[in-house]
Amino acid sequence: MLRLRVLTRTALLLALVTVLVLPPWAQVGDAASHREAPAISMDPEADITDFFMFRSYEPGKGDKLILIMDVIPGEEPSSGPNYWNFDPNVLYSFEIDNDGDGKANDVSFEFSFTTELRGEVTALKLPLSYLGDADAPDKLPPITKLDGPGSEGLGLRQKYSVTMVKGNDRTVIADGLIAVPSNVGPRTMPDYDALAAQGIYNLDLPGGGGRVFAGQRDDPFYIDLGATFDTLNFRRNPPLLTMAEDANDGAVDAQWFNPFGVDMLSGFNVNTIALEVPMSLIRRAGQPKIGAYASTARRNVHVIRRDGGPVDSGRFIQVQRLANPLINEVIIGTQDKDAWNAVDPQDEAQFLDYYLNPRLALALQLVFGVPAATSNRTDLRDALLKYAPTDTQLSELLRLDTTVPPTPLANQHRLGPLAHDAAGNPTPDPAGWPNGRRPKDDVTDVAVRLVGGPNYIQALAGDGVNFNDKPLTTSFPFLASPHNGRNRVHQNP
Amino acid sequence: MTPWQRAGAALALAVVLGAAVEVLGPSARRAEPVPGLSGAVVGGPAVPLPRTDRSIADLQGRLRANGDDRGAQTSLGLLYLQKARETADPAYYPKAEGVLRQALASAPEDPDTLVGLGVLALARHDFAGGLALGERAARASPRKSAAYGIVTDANVELGRYDEAIAAAQRMVDIRPDQSSYARASYLRELHGDVDGAIEMMQAAVDADAPGREGTEWARVQLGNLYFNAGQIDSAESTYRLSLAFLPDYFQAKAGLARAAAARGDYDQAIRLYSEATQVAPLPDLVAQLVDVYHAAGRENDAAQAQALLRAEEKLYAANGVDTDLEMALFDADHDVDAAGAAQRLQRVWQQRRSVHVADALAWATFKAGDCRAAEGYAREALRLGTRDALMLYHAGRIAACLGQVGRARALLDDVLRTNPRFSVRYASDAAVLRDQLAGEGGTVR
């Protein structure tokens, strides 16, 4: 099966024209006898597929800020026996700028995991992570609890801590929380949703309560990757939506279908870290806008140890960052991808040329023969790298105007600021990307149009996939329950 | 049976028929990189293709649609190299070279293409060429982690260890991950820091998903580190874990075979080596199988396996791979024209002064009867303090030949402390020699 890794976000890929699509699993090395380690690590546990940030649209929770990162692209639900886990050696974090200076060093939340092997599985020395039989609970109790009786079969269990960093203050705000395991199937985990609900923990925070969740969810991203990779061979030519199709946000179940695309991520899962915190904990007086990104980091080491020194030299090195969707895949050139991931967003100025002269626009123009806005894109620069056009600091952050009220899920428009009704009248939804980002937002279509420019906005260009394969939920952690390994399917909704 | 297993079987059969050399040319095992597809066409349940095959097929499709798709050319080149890694079939090298050269023609400084060509050069044991390509990729993209991996590997094989350490440090500074951790582990191992190497290889294993080829490769290396430290049980359980995550992984089977041989279970070792070489007839593994056949007294089988090894040598040469070091060491071990082997290794030594070349040259020179000259190379081989029982044994044998009883005894003590079961071929000789030396030179500590 494809483990759609890169693919996830390498989305609009114009790979074709300029960007190299490195095959996800390519390790590359030598078959002969000299010793050669893989040249390229794909590192799925540190690979952030999506970052979401929005004011909570859960009823009555509008004063909460939601931060979500997804990692491990394209989790095949049936991938036993070990399924999918967070990496104990990776530091996962959200980094936030709340004073408008473009430096996301004001507040951060760090998550680190540990793995234990326990219970029945260890006792029986089985090479399995999870074990349980809902049909014979006397012999093998099914997994119904994350801890205590009912958790005997949870052989591989991950716990995590949450640390808040403000300036020099580091506060462990939670420890020993249990991550929700992969959804194995109904015999082992007969009521997965009830099990997963135990993994939503309340946090006691200054300024009010919050919640946290870590575990498996359905991958909320939706895109026609197959068509995209086949040289933008979309399933309608040209790939334009009708006014009615484009206006359909799937509010009514009967309307919930894709006009012409195939969601290549249907039936795949991700691992999610979701955090709910009081907005007052983050916001600074007089600063309505915040910026943030998600980061994964690993420890650096000294290649040669001095006198038996420790393996770790202590310093964490960022291996990936993600703020706005699709930046590393469609904006940044291939020779700068490693460098881009390693630097902090506040050092984005060195990559400015990619924003001013986007290759995606060039690619669209080339493939479809429709003129695109290919140069001097100060509008993209201002939208993606600044709070206000007058800013001089360029930082690639996902930005949120916290004064914009959240839109209830049922009323959300997937096209955010570009939304319209079936008659073509604008119905902008200002609470969607690029003002923050919600799982509902169709960032593929929005990106194609914003980057392509007026011709692409007017013509309603898109990949023809408008919905996730599982309905999103109105409550924390907002992403749908993951597909189970026993009965997983991959199909177009 | 995959086409590669079939190819391996055909090859073995050809050897049996005494026709190996005739059927082996560059085209004898032509790379046909869409295995499995024909099965789907013929009917029956659609079997999901292995990931590498599937991606190769996808990219070939993309290139059929647009032959100038440079991204696809480079990706396909890298996938052919991955496929060679998974099958030990060097016929993929010319294919990789073809598409990578095409890609480079349209973008001469593309860092990904340069990395691909660098990997290819290393795979063919053209380490100077690999170094140049890696450095060129690093100039084109100074923060590209993979470029420094190539520079590291090339410098290691060229015996330029300080440069290798610098490149590996740069690599891990840019991106701590499985690729950079694994290289740090190897450099620690070479410098005699076995514990540090084990810790680092464990970090490499933990830094990517279980079951992926790179992860299981790292896990097998971890098992090898345990084996080389004499911890045969830990080594075996590590190889078993690897097999659980990646069933039939030939590197893990070879590890289990080595451990079985070390325990004296030759039947089991022969079975496992045969399975591993069926999937991937790596010269190293075939050479080890030869040794086990000898140890088990199965001389006919040993001769056949040896013929397979010679055929492999020609296959590798036909696909541009330089196997001088490996084959010369084999010849020296088996007393096949040791003087000639030493001469060939002299030429290798002029090009690359690695501890492994020094060790092979020392051994071949010793076998050719010149213990005096061998000693200098043996000291070169141990210049980093590598705790490799075989290298220590070679040096001990040479010291004993020169009558340096104290040095020989110390070296053989080191061998027995490091891993008394280091070799099917030489382990018992090491112990016997140590006992003889104890009798010669006074007290034993």
- Token representation of residue A49: 């597929």
Angle at A207 between CA A283 and CA A95, to 5 degrees: 45
What pLDDT score was predicted for residue A174? 97
Find, among A34, A82, A60, the residue nearest to A184 by Cα: A82
Residue ranges in B88-193 assigned as alpha helix (H): 92-106, 111-123, 127-140, 145-158, 161-174, 178-190
Q: DSSP string of B367-428?
A: HTT-HHHHHHHHHHHTTT----HHHHHHHHHHHHHTT-HHHHHHHHHHHHHH-TT--TTTHH
Contacts of A335 in chain B (CB under 8 A): 110-111, 140-141, 144
Chain A residue numbers touching B165 (CB-CB < 8 A): 303-304
What integer pLDDT is reported at residue A221 of this predicted model? 92
Angstrom distances, CA of residue A125 to CA of A118, A228, B296:
10, 45, 34
Cβ-in-10-Å burial (0-12, 13-18, 19+) of B283 comes to: buried
Question: Has residue A2 been placed in a domain?
Answer: no
Q: List the single residue in B71, B145, B179 with the smallest CB-CB distance to A19.
A: B71
List the single residue in A with minimal CA-CA distance to B48: A1
Please list every residue in chain A whose beta carbon sits closer than 8 Å to the beta carbon of residue B282. Answer: 31-33
Is the Cβ pair A339, B186 closer than 8 Å?
Answer: no
Between B112, B184, B186, which is nearest A20 by CB?
B112
Higher pLDDT: A301 or B10? It is: A301
Q: Are the CB atoms for A463 and A397 separated by under 8 Å?
A: no
Task: Give the pLDDT band (50/70/90) at residue A492.
Answer: low
Candidate from B54, B122, B213 with C-beta closest to A30: B122
Smallest CA–CA separation between B13 and chain A, in Å? Answer: 22
Band (pLDDT 50/70/90 cuts) for residue A254 is low
Q: CB distance B143–A338 less than 8 Å?
A: yes
Q: Residue-wise pLDDT tens for chain B (445 aa)?
A: 333 233 333 323 222 222 222 222 222 222 222 222 222 222 222 233 467 888 888 889 888 888 888 888 998 998 898 888 888 888 999 999 999 999 999 999 998 899 999 999 998 999 999 999 999 999 998 988 899 999 999 999 999 999 999 999 999 998 899 999 999 999 999 999 999 999 999 999 988 878 888 889 999 999 999 999 999 999 999 999 899 888 889 999 999 999 999 999 999 999 999 999 998 888 889 999 999 999 999 999 999 999 999 998 898 889 888 888 889 999 999 999 999 999 999 999 999 999 999 999 999 999 999 999 999 999 999 999 999 999 999 999 999 999 999 999 999 999 999 999 999 999 999 999 999 998 765 443 3
Residue A411 is assigned to a structural domain of this protein: yes
Please report the pLDDT score of residue A321 as a whole number.
94
Q: Which residues, other chains included, contact B381 with Cβ-Cβ below 8 Å and sequence gap of 6+?
A: B355, B356, B358, B359, B362, B391, B394, B395
Within-domain flag for A19: yes
Interface of B with A in 173-202 (CB under 8 A): 173-184, 186-188, 191, 193, 195-196, 199-200
* A4 within domain boundaries: no
Residues 256-285 of B with CB under 8 A from A: 280, 282-284
Q: pLDDT band at A23, cuts 50/70/90? A: very low
| pLDDT at residue A224 in the model | 86
Among all residues of chain A, which has the CA nearest to that of B220? A37
What pLDDT does A314 receive?
67
- Residue to substitute from B115, B125, B144, B175, interface A, most A β-carbons within 10 A: B175
Question: Nearest-CA distance from B100 to chain A in Å?
Answer: 13
Confidence of residue A114 (pLDDT cuts 50, 70, 90): very high
Q: What's residue A117's pLDDT?
A: 83
Query: Per-residue pLDDT for A26 more than 70?
Result: no
Distance in Å, alpha carbon of A37 to nearest chain B alpha carbon:
6
Of B140, B177, B191, the CB nearest to A298: B177
At B34 the pLDDT is: 26
User: What are the chain B neighbours of A31 within 8 Å (beta carbons)?
Assistant: 84-90, 123, 280, 282
Give the distance from residue B427's alpha carbon to the nearest chain A alpha carbon, in angstroms: 22
Domain-embedded: residue A330:
yes
| pLDDT computed for residue B279 by the predictor | 87
Q: How confident is the model at residue A36 (pLDDT cuts 50, 70, 90)?
A: low
**CB within 8 Å: A317 and B173:** yes
Number of domains composing chain A? 1
What does the pLDDT read at residue A50? 95
Q: Please tell me the distance in Å from B358's CA to the nearest CA on chain A.
A: 15
Check CB contact under 8 Å for A40 and B146. Answer: yes
Structural domain includes residue A46: yes
Question: Tokens at residue A375, please?
Answer: 């140069």
pLDDT of A299 above 60: yes
* Nearest alpha carbon to residue B171 among B134, B132, B202: B134
Interchain pair B141, A22: CB under 8 A? no
Instruction: Look at residue A488 and tell me if it is in a domain.
Output: no
pLDDT of residue B266: 97
Give the tens place of pLDDT for each residue, A41-57: 667 888 899 999 999 99
Min distance A236 CA to chain B CA atoms (Å): 18
Question: Could you count the other beta carbons within 10 Å of the beta carbon of residue B404?
Answer: 17
The answer, for B133 touching chain A at a CB cutoff of 8 Å, is no
Contact state of B186 with A87 under an 8 Å Cβ cutoff:
no
Which of A331, A325, A302 shows the shortest CA–CA distance to A315? Answer: A302
Average pLDDT value for chain A: 86
Q: How many CB atoms lie within 10 A of CB B432?
A: 11
Helix (H) or strand (E) run with residue A108 in it: strand A107-117
Q: Are A94 and A128 in contact (CB under 8 A)?
A: no
Q: Does A472 have pLDDT greater than 70? A: yes
Residue A446 contacts residue A416 (beta carbons within 8 Å): yes
A281: containing domain? 9-118+155-459
Q: Which residues of B touch A82 (CB under 8 A)?
A: 210-211, 245
* A79 contacts on B by Cβ (under 8 Å): 211
pLDDT of residue A341 exceeding 50, the answer is yes
Closest CB from B69, B81, B200 relative to A28: B81
Chain A residues touching B194 at Cβ < 8 A: none
Which residues of chain A have a CB within 8 Å of the CB of B180? 41
The closest alpha carbon to A337, from A36, A12, A42, belongs to A42
Report the residue from A81, A298, A339 with minimal CB separation from B207. A298
At B46 the pLDDT is: 27
Does B141 contact A82 at a Cβ distance shorter than 8 Å?
no
> Which pLDDT score is estimated for B66?
83
- Determine the Cα–Cα distance for residues A185 and A202; give it in Å rounded to an integer: 27
Q: How much is the pLDDT for B50? A: 62
For residue B359, list chain A residues with Cβ-Cβ distance below 8 A. none
Could you tell me if A156 and A85 are in contact, meaning their C-beta atoms sit under 8 angstroms apart?
A: yes
| pLDDT at site A74 | 84
**Of the candidates A315, A272, A267, the residue with the CA atom closest to the CA atom of residue A294:** A272
Looking at residue A252, its pLDDT comes to 60
The percent of residues in chain A predicted with pLDDT above 90, rounded, is 60
Euclidean distance between CA atoms A458 and A450, whole angstroms: 11
Tell me the C-alpha distance between A354 and A339, whole Å: 14
The model's confidence at residue A195, banded by pLDDT at 50, 70 and 90, is: very high
Work out the pLDDT band at A493, boundaries 50, 70, 90.
low
Task: Find the closest chain B residue to A33 by CA distance.
Answer: B284
Q: Indicate if the pLDDT at residue A93 is higher than 80.
A: yes
CA-derived radius of gyration, chain A: 22
| Model confidence at A24: pLDDT above 50 | no
Question: pLDDT at position A3, please?
Answer: 30
- What pLDDT is attached to residue A368? 85
Per-residue DSSP letter, A167: T
What's the pLDDT band for A415 if we cut at 50, 70, 90? very high
A9 min Cα distance to partner chain B (Å):
16
What's the CA dihedral at A233, A238, A239, A245 to 10 degrees? -150
Contacts of B245 in chain A (CB under 8 A): 82
pLDDT at B331: 93
- Residue-wise pLDDT for A200-253, tens only, equals 999 999 888 999 999 999 999 998 887 876 767 888 988 999 999 999 887 666
Other CB atoms within 10 Å distance of the CB of residue B174: 23
Amino acid at A300: N
Cβ–Cβ below 8 Å for B208 and A42:
yes
**Does residue A147 form part of some domain?**
no
Instruction: DSSP for A293-357, please give it.
Output: EEEEEEEEE-SS-STT--SEEEEEEEEEEESSTTIIIIIS-GGGHHHHHHS-GGGGGGGHHHHHS
| Lowest mean pLDDT across A193-197, A233-237, A427-431 | A233-237
Q: How high is the pLDDT of residue B144?
A: 87
**B55 in reach of chain A (CB within 8 A):** yes
Q: Where is pLDDT greater, at A339 or A485?
A: A485
Of B280, B253, B318, the residue nearest B89 (C-alpha): B280
Residue B168 forms contact with A (CB below 8 Å): yes
Q: What pLDDT is attached to residue B39?
A: 25
